[in-house]
Amino acid sequence: MSSLRGRVAVVGVAESDLGEVAPGLTEQDLIGQAATRALADAGIAREEVDGLFCSSSTQPAPTLNAAEYLGIRPRYSDGSNIGGSSAVSHLLYAAGAIESGLIDVALIVYGSIQRSAARKLITPAAISAWEEPFRPRWPLTMYALAASRHMHQFGTTREQLAAVAVAARAWAQLNPVAFERGPLSVADVLAARPVCDPLGVRDCCLVTDGGGALVLTSAERAREAPKPAAHLLGCGVAHWHRDISQMPDLTVTAATESGARAFAMAGLTPADVDVVELYDAFTINPILFLEDLGFCAKGEGGEFVSAGRIAPGGELPVNTNGGGLSYCHPGMYGIFTVIEAVRQLRGEAGDRQQDDVEVALAHANGAVLSSQATALLGTEATLS
Amino acid sequence: MTESPPGPWSGYQEGLARGELRFQRCGECGRAVFYPRLLCPFCGSADPAWETAAGGGTVYATTTMRPRDEAPYHVCLVDLDEGFRMMSRVDGVAPDAVRIGDRLRLLIVEEDGRPVPTFVPAERS
Ligand SMILES: [Zn+2]
C-alpha cells in the first residue's frame, strides 16, 4: 500500500481568542485570528497558501467565506463537513493533495462564536423525520443513549464517567487559556444538575467561542520551518451512520476503523503513543475511543479512566489541554486535538508539557458518534 | 417520463395511518430494513418489500430527558422482534423506571394531528 507516512507535516498551529470573545467578533474574525497566528507560527506567507480547508456549523460553503475574508485564492478548496471530526479528516485530504503535487501549503481553519451568539450548541443537523417525533435533543440524547448501553452491557458506572470530567478539569488547571479551571470532584459531577440520564451537566462539553488553524506542507519543506515539524505518521477516517437509531452497536464506534487505518499507516500500536488527545463532547466519549483505538479492551474503558490513570501524573496523559469538557468547545472541536498534539510534540505545552513526547494521537468524533477521524503525529526522530 | 410509485416515506405514513408499523424485508439477503428505502443497505438489492411489525419489542437503550422548563420525558431505542431498531418512547410508566431489556408492545397514538409509533410495557397489554 502506498503510504502518506512521513510525507507531510504540520508546521503551524494556533488558536484564536477563546471562551467568550469580544463583542462584535464574528466566526470569520476568529478564523482570521487563528490563520494569521498559525501562518506566523509556520513562518509561511499567506500568499503561499494554495489549499484551503474549512468546516462550519453555519456556512454551507465555508471555504468561500474563509478565502474571501483571508484574501486567499486557493487552487484546492475543501469545505467537507462530517461534523466535529472534519478538521482531522482534512489532515488526510490535505496530505493527499500535497503528496500528489496539487498544492504546496494547506491551511485548515475553523471558527465559531456559538457562545456569544446563542449560548447553546449550534447544530445545523436537523433531527431526521424518523427520530423527530420523540423529541431527542441533538446531540445530547444520542450520547446519553450510548452511555446507557455501555453501562448496561459492561457495568460502567456514573463514577467512571465522572472520572473523565475530573481528569479533564485537572488538566485544564494547568492550561492558562482553559475556560473552566475551578476545582471539580467526582462527587461534584454526580451532584450536578441532571440533564439526560445518565448524564449530568458536568458530563457535557462546554459551549464556548473559539477558532483554530493548522498549516501543513511537505516533510522536506517542514525541515526548514522555524519550529520542529510534527510529521503526519498516519491518518484514518471512517463513518457508518448518521442517526443514532442507525448505529449498529452503540458501544462500538467507527474509531475501530479510523484508528486501525491510522496505526497501520504509521506502523505503530497504541503502546507507542505518548499523549492522547480525544474529542470529549461527553464523558462517555473518551471511554469509547480508548477502547475502540485499542488502548484497552472493549468494555474496560470505565475502569481504564478511573483512579487518575488519564489525569496529570497518570499512566496515559489524555486530553492534556483540558478537552472540550474544560478547555474550550466551540461546536466542532476536532481541530483543537491536533493543536494540542503538535504543541506536546514541540515541547510548547507549558505546565502541562509531558516528558519525551515522540508520538501523539489526535482523534475526533462527529455528529452522534457518526464520523471518526484519527491522526498520529510524530517528531523527526520517529521517521528514522 | 416514467412514473415512479410513491416514495417509501409515503408507504410508511400510510401504514401508520392504518395502525400498522411497516418496515421492509430484503428479498435477497432476508434482513429487515428500517427506515424504509429503495434499496437494501446490507446487500444493495433493489427490492426490499413491505412487511408489518407484529408490535413486540425490547428496550435497547434508554434515557430520561430532564429539561429545565417541562416534566421529564422518555426517549429510547427499541429492537423490534422482526429484527430492526427504531427510536421511540415508552408511555404508561415513569421514564426512569424503564430498563434496558424490558419487553414492550407497540401503541400508535395520535399526536399533533399525526400517528406516532410509541410503546407501552408488554405486561400491561
Ligand atoms: Zn439485502
Q: pLDDT category, B6, cuts 50, 70, 90?
A: confident
Beta strands at B103-111 and B85-88: parallel, antiparallel or unpaired: unpaired
The mean per-residue pLDDT over the stretch A6-18 comes to 98
Say if the Cβ atoms of B63 and A144 lie within 8 Å: yes
Could you report the per-residue pLDDT of B11-45, keeping only the tens digit for each? 999 999 999 999 999 999 999 999 999 999 999 99
* Residue B108 grid coordinates: 400508535
* Residue A334 grid coordinates: 476536532
At CA A206, angle to CA A205 and CA A211, rounded to 5? 110
C-alpha–C-alpha distance, residues A298 and B74, integer Å:
28
Say if the Cβ atoms of B87 and A194 lie within 8 Å: no
Q: Which helix (H) or strand (E) holds B24?
A: strand B22-26
* Residue A172 grid coordinates: 485544564
**CB B33 within 8 Å of CB B84:** yes
Contacts of A146 in chain B (CB under 8 A): 61
C-alpha–C-alpha distance, residues A44 and B48, integer Å:
55
* Residue B86 near chain A (CB below 8 Å): yes
C-alpha–C-alpha distance, residues A363 and A91, integer Å:
12
Give, as one character, the DSSP assignment of residue A43.
T
Helix (H, G, I), strand (E, B) or coil at A78: strand
C-alpha–C-alpha distance, residues A168 and B114, integer Å:
45
Burial label for B13, CB within 10 Å (0-12, 13-18, 19+), is middle
CB pairs A-B closer than 8 Å: 64
Could you tell me if residue A256 is inside a domain?
Answer: yes
**CB B56 within 8 Å of CB B49:** no
**CB A340 within 8 Å of CB A320:** yes
Choosing among B23, B35, B73, B77, which should be mutated to test the A contact, i.e. which has the most A CBs within 10 A? B77
Q: What is the CATH number of the domain that holds A88?
A: 3.40.47.10
- Chain B residue with minimal CA distance to A153? B100
Alpha helices in chain B (DSSP H): 8-17
Is pLDDT at A181 greater than 50 in this prediction?
yes
* Residue B107 near chain A (CB below 8 Å): no
Closest CA to A365 of A259, A246, A248: A259
* Residue B109 near chain A (CB below 8 Å): no
Q: pLDDT category, A384, cuts 50, 70, 90?
A: confident
Instruction: Give the gap in angstroms from C-alpha A240 to the nearest C-alpha of chain B.
Output: 11
Sheet holding A76-78, edge to edge: A76-78, A51-54, A105-112, A210-218, A8-15, A230-239, A371-378, A359-366, A275-278
Give, as one character, the DSSP assignment of residue A128.
P
The mean per-residue pLDDT over the stretch A111-125 comes to 75
* Residue A120 grid coordinates: 447553546
User: Which residues is B103 bridged to in the sheet?
Assistant: B58
Could you tell me if residue A145 is inside a domain?
Answer: no
Say if the Cβ atoms of B9 and A129 lie within 8 Å: yes
Whole-Å CA distances, A25 to A59, A112, A212, B79: 16, 10, 15, 47
Q: Which residue has the higher pLDDT, B29 or A120?
A: B29
Say if the Cβ atoms of A145 and B77 lie within 8 Å: yes
Could you tell me if residue A218 is inside a domain?
Answer: yes
Q: pLDDT category, A121, cuts 50, 70, 90?
A: low
Instruction: Count CA atoms within 13 Å of residue A378 on its CB side.
Output: 22
Instruction: Give the gap in angstroms from C-alpha A242 to the nearest C-alpha of chain B.
Output: 12
Q: Which helix (H) or strand (E) holds A296?
A: none
Could you tell me if residue A182 is inside a domain?
Answer: no
Contacts of A145 in chain B (CB under 8 A): 61-63, 75-77
Q: Which residue has the higher pLDDT, B124 or A271?
A: A271
Contacts of B101 in chain A (CB under 8 A): 152
The mean per-residue pLDDT over the stretch A140-150 comes to 98
The mean per-residue pLDDT over the stretch A356-384 comes to 97
Could you report the per-residue pLDDT of A316-361, keeping only the tens digit for each? 999 999 999 999 999 999 999 999 999 999 999 999 999 999 999 9
User: Which residues is A238 bridged to in the sheet?
Assistant: A372
Residue ranges and CATH numbers for the domains of chain B are 1-52 (no CATH), 54-125 (2.40.50.840)
Contacts of A136 in chain B (CB under 8 A): 65, 75, 87
Burial label for A245, CB within 10 Å (0-12, 13-18, 19+), is buried
Helix (H, G, I), strand (E, B) or coil at A343: helix
C-alpha–C-alpha distance, residues A213 and A41, integer Å:
10
Is pLDDT at B5 greater than 90 in this prediction?
no
Could you tell me if residue A101 is inside a domain?
Answer: yes
Predicted confidence at residue A249, as pLDDT, reads 98
**CB A253 within 8 Å of CB A281:** no
Range of the domain at A301: 8-117+207-280+287-379
Long-range contacts of residues B113-116, Cβ cutoff 8 Å, at least 24 apart:
B114/A133, B114/B16, B115/B13, B115/B16, B115/B17, B115/B19, B116/A133, B116/A134, B116/B16
Could you tell me if residue A126 is inside a domain?
Answer: no
Task: Enter the ipTM.
Answer: 0.96
What is the average pLDDT score of chain A? 96
User: Which residues is A50 bridged to in the sheet?
Assistant: none
**CB B73 within 8 Å of CB B64:** yes
Is pLDDT at B125 greater than 70 in this prediction?
no
Say if the Cβ atoms of A196 and B116 lie within 8 Å: no
Predicted confidence at residue B123, as pLDDT, reads 75
The mean per-residue pLDDT over the stretch A275-285 comes to 98
Ligand 1 centroid to residue B104 C-alpha, Å: 27
Whole-Å CA distances, A324 to A140, A366, A381, B37: 14, 13, 30, 37
Say if the Cβ atoms of B86 and A196 lie within 8 Å: no
C-alpha–C-alpha distance, residues B95 and B63, integer Å:
8
Helix (H, G, I), strand (E, B) or coil at B85: strand
Say if the Cβ atoms of A245 and B111 lie within 8 Å: no
Q: Number of structural domains, chain A?
A: 1
User: Which residues is B85 bridged to in the sheet?
Assistant: B79
Give every CB contact of residue A60 below 8 A, 6+ residues apart in sequence. none
Whole-Å CA distances, B2 to B5, B7, B10, B85: 10, 14, 19, 34
Is pLDDT at A81 greater than 50 in this prediction?
yes
What is the average pLDDT score of chain B? 95
Could you tell me if residue A61 is inside a domain?
Answer: yes
Q: Provide the greatest CA pair distance for chain A.
A: 57
* Residue B62 near chain A (CB below 8 Å): yes
Ligand 1 centroid to residue B5 C-alpha, Å: 21
The mean per-residue pLDDT over the stretch A74-90 comes to 98
Could you tell me if residue A167 is inside a domain?
Answer: no
Whole-Å CA distances, A124 to A66, A281, B2: 19, 17, 35
At CA A300, angle to CA A141 and CA A339, rounded to 5? 65
Instruction: Give the gap in angstroms from C-alpha A63 to the nearest C-alpha of chain B.
Output: 32
C-alpha–C-alpha distance, residues B97 and B74, integer Å:
10
Say if the Cβ atoms of B9 and A141 lie within 8 Å: no
Say if the Cβ atoms of B76 and A129 lie within 8 Å: no
